[in-house]
Amino acid sequence: MKDHVKGGALTEVTLYILLALYKPNHGYGIMQFVEVETEGRLTLGAGTLYGALNTLVNKGWIALYGEESTKKKKNYLITDLGKEKVEVELNRLKEVLEKGQSIVNGESR
């Protein structure tokens, strides 16, 4: 899962997975969240999602939530570090949007 393009940009899929985990959620719930929030533009296969979840756990951006041993479905929750990454990405996207609008409107330097 590439989420560190030059400049620190997250992939859209990574961003949506992190957003899905502001509340405890499991794999199928995350897939549904992404599909609903993007109005079907993004869909995740199980292999892609579970590979991404493992990577995000290893980076410390998300963590297992609750009693893993008593549940069939593993639930995940975003960590404080993950929230920091989301904030940085939202600020980056805001800057891109503002600069793009400025250029389109003929207001660039």
The total number of structural domains that make up the chain: 1
Cα Rg of the chain, angstroms: 16
Domain-embedded: residue 5: no
DSSP letters spanning 4-29: --TT-PPPHHHHHHHHHTSS-EEHHH
CATH code: domain of residue 79: 1.10.10.10
Query: Are the CB atoms for 27 and 72 separated by under 8 Å?
Result: no
Q: How confident is the model at residue 75 (pLDDT cuts 50, 70, 90)?
A: very high
In our burial notation (b when 16+ CB lie closer than 10 A, e otherwise), range 1-25 reads bebeeeeebbeebbbbbbbbbeeeb
Domain-embedded: residue 4: no
Domain-embedded: residue 47: yes
Q: What is the mean pLDDT of residues 85-97?
A: 96
Of 107 and 51, more confident: 51
Domain-embedded: residue 109: no
Q: How confident is the model at residue 107 (pLDDT cuts 50, 70, 90)?
A: confident
Domain-embedded: residue 36: yes
Domain-embedded: residue 1: no
The predicted pLDDT at position 37 comes to 97
Domain-embedded: residue 83: yes
Q: pTM of the entire structure?
A: 0.86
Domain-embedded: residue 87: yes
pLDDT at residue 69 greater than cutoff 50: no
Give the residue numbers spanning the domain of 65.
Answer: 12-104
pLDDT, tens digit (0-9, with 9 covering 90-100), for 13-42: 999 999 999 999 999 999 999 999 999 999
Lowest mean pLDDT among 2-6, 75-79, 92-96: 2-6
